[in-house]
Structure 1
Amino acid sequence: MTETLAFGTAETVLGRLLVAETETGVVSLAFRDTPAARARTAKATGLPVVDAPARTAPALSALRDYFAGHLKDFDVPIDWRLTSDAQRQVLTTLYESVPYGKVVTYGELGDRSGTGVHAQVIGQIMGSNPIPLIVPCHRVVASNGLGGYSGGSGVEVKRWLLTLEGSVPATLDWDITRAP
């Protein structure tokens, strides 16, 4: 049986998210559904694209529930094919050990993952995470603040996500229905 790639979208407060899924699991998530994002993912996986809305439905439903404040843990299968062995080790450690509402520093994640890589390298791995939100790179912070974020429109999206999860106190004007 030939493996294939299916795309689906979820409307969220942060915009229309694009999820790509193989028979194995979610392989990528992009903050914007664009033809270029679809083409990059198809090229990176090397898989033919099919129309299979039932395949992406569980992940899309989970994302909608997350943004509504109802979902604490993503329980969707992951396809790690777009990661190197080192990335996979760090991202798997993050996915399995940093729950909703918690944060970890770049250095702590490096230690937990057993890779022995420097915090700066952990930051680069977070920046290249092909499955943000589901593999929660927004929960990895600097030892002296939020650190960076390459998802969405940047660090304000990270702050918004951490506020949603209760890791960062909400400001008086914070609103779950309004994007940063």
Structure 2
Amino acid sequence: MATIIVAFPKLEEARAIRNLLIRKGFDVAMPITSGAQVINQADSLASGIIVCGYKLSDNMVYSDLYEYKPKSFELLLVTSQNRWEECRDNNIVCLATPLKVNELVQTLEMMIQAQVRTRKKKRSTPTRRSPEEQRIIDDAKHLLMERNNMSEPEAFRYIQKCSMDSGNSMVESARMVIGLYEE
């Protein structure tokens, strides 16, 4: 689950929201009051969501925080509705004050699900090989086809299986095949 960073200019507000989120089952970091602390905390974490107010104690505004945060973090701004227009231009998720618990929880769940979908999609896209790497794999396939009378799909599956069994990449396994036949 994504870690949530709660940042508001007043420590009491940040603590109250943090405690509320913990009671609702979220993984929440220590409450923070300044933008610099948020960025430091976010840099030490893999991914997550920053819940913050319009302006923090070090006069960092949400838009600066949005710009400096790691790309793996989303921003949820809690502010009055008259400031929402600025947020929409930056594609930032906003919640109105006074804050309603159900809206906060549902919004965070939606944002976490979006992050999970993005990570799954990123993992499922195959990695692109460089022309040099593809040439190495092709050379290994051709060696297997010539010397072991394999078809191209069989040679590819052999390299793929060696790769999976050894925990190496396809290119490393292809290099090993080439190395075996060059001796």
Q: Report TM bin, short chain.
A: under 0.3
Q: Which has the larger share of helix?
A: 2
TM-score scaled by structure 1? 0.24
TM-score scaled by structure 2? 0.24
Higher relative contact order at CA 8 Å, sep ≥6: structure 1 or structure 2?
1
Larger Rg: 2
